[in-house]
Amino acid sequence: MSLCRLSLLGSTFCIAALSVLPNAARADDYTELLDILRAKGSLTRSEYNVLLAHHQHHSHPSLQRDDDSTPAAPSRHRNRYMRYGPQNEGSSLEAPPDVTTIAAVSAARRAAMDASASAQDARNSLLEARRTYNPDSIVRVKPYVAGKGVTIQAGQIDINISGFVNAYYTYNSPGGGRPVAGGVSTGSSGFDSSSVRNGLLPGGLILKLNTVQDGIKLGAVFGMYPGINNNNPSTFNANSGGSPVGLGTAGLDFRQVYMTAGTDRFGTVKLGRDIALFASDAILNDATLLSVGSTGSNANPANTSLGRIGVGYVYTDWLPQITYISPKWKGFQASVGIMTPLDEFNFAGGGISATTTQHSSPMLQGKVTYDGNIAGFTTRFWSSFLVQHQQNLTSSTLGSSSRKGTTVEAGDVGVKVSRGPFEGVAYYYYGSGLAIRFCPSSS
């Protein structure tokens, strides 16, 4: 070969080499840019693979052919982006994108942007809901506690509803003896009697409201106690003897209507109608409280039976009152209240007892209790008193010069001890001018 031909071939080779090198350089710059964008997170792995494959297919078809013909010797570009692609052995680049693939990527990006906007809207809504959340506007039912009724919390107010119903069949066979005025002995009628009636407790439906306002505990109680026997209103209202006749209606004893206000440090003030203080622990610890006890007039049952009233203690009664109840201190607690004074009532008739309806001063009652544990026994001590001044007494046996006033006074003391299934109660009371069951008597 002549020197001239060799020179021509060498020039051609150099020109061809120069025409290839810029393309290889541009390919490296492009893939370097893709690597940087991928590393910064600007491109997803799928987007990176699609763009790299698209660039290789359109810009370097010879490399694509080389990759197809020599899979054992992958190119430098293939090694650079395969680390972001599938890692399974024998995996290859994704196919070059077509119009459908590009549209899918665009749709995916729009969906991602919409999802991000929706997530932000949801977060803003949650923050707004938290900002405007007001627990006082929520009504919910508190966990049920057996024997405590159902409690509904409406904002800051607890509403408790409880109740009970009872009925007993009673058979009474009276013995001999004379009736006792104001007592529980009705004498011998010569006849036995049967009835279906309430026990010492009537039925009950109690509504309690409690809340705390400015650190003060406020409460209100409405206690309705209906009977199942016909009512025959007379001297003792619904607690008078019943009337077992057709078309009769039962009585309703609205015993409790009161409100309370207080704090743990100051104590509690009660205003309204509730159980009195004197002899209240006696009836609340009566073993016959949940049964019948003395039947009283069983032939025409009243709203309740009598339990042990009149054969062990005086009935405490439910009275209008203003009462202060102290906080508990080492098991001790004291209560004192003024109450509507009761009229003198002549149980026996004639001139044996005087009557009066004049009251210039209220009835005064008080009570002290102690709750503790002594020698393993759960123990409760109590003592209470009652004082009421009676004026302008009237009786056929009282002369014009006789004293027309008197003071009714009474006091009691009691103790209850319990341990396991054992319970014991001891009780003593003293009264002057006090009737056996319900109200003062000047006899």
pLDDT digits (tens, 9 = 90+) for 359-394: 889 999 999 999 999 999 999 999 999 999 888 777
Q: Report pLDDT for 83.
A: 45
In contact, 386 and 408? CB cutoff 8 Å: yes
Q: Report pLDDT for 276.
A: 97
The interaxial angle of helices 61-69 and 45-59, nearest 10 deg, is 100
- Residue-wise pLDDT tens digits, 246-263: 888 888 889 999 999 999
290: Cβ contacts below 8 Å, ≥ 6 apart: 166, 199, 200, 201
Q: Where are the alpha helices (DSSP H) in 159-302?
A: 280-284
Q: Report pLDDT for 185.
A: 66
CA distance 439 to 437: 7
Q: Which residue has the tokens 């026996």?
A: 348
Tell me which residues of the chain have a pLDDT lower than 70. 1-28, 58-104, 176-177, 179-190, 238, 347-352, 396, 398-403, 435-443
| Residue closest to 433 by CA, chosen among 425, 423, 441 | 441
Return the ∠ at Cα 315 (arms to 388 and 324), rounded to 5°.
Answer: 55
In contact, 233 and 240? CB cutoff 8 Å: yes
How many residues are present in the chain? 443
In contact, 345 and 235? CB cutoff 8 Å: yes
Pairing state of beta strands 157-164 and 377-390? unpaired
15 CB neighbour count, 10 Å cutoff? 9
CA distance 307 to 286: 8
CA distance 168 to 388: 37
Model pTM above 0.75: no
CA distance 271 to 435: 26
For residue 331 the two structure tokens come to 């098991």
CA distance 129 to 16: 71
CATH of 139-432, one of 2.40.160, 1.20.1070, 1.10.10, 1.10.150: 2.40.160
Domain ranges for the chain: 17-116, 139-432
Distances (CA, A) of 291 to 105, 202, 294, 320, 405: 83, 10, 10, 27, 40
Q: Which residue has the tokens 């202060």?
A: 324
Q: Report pLDDT for 161.
A: 97
Judged by DSSP in three states, 19 sits in: helix
In contact, 290 and 201? CB cutoff 8 Å: yes
Question: Residue 396 belongs to what H/E stretch?
Answer: none
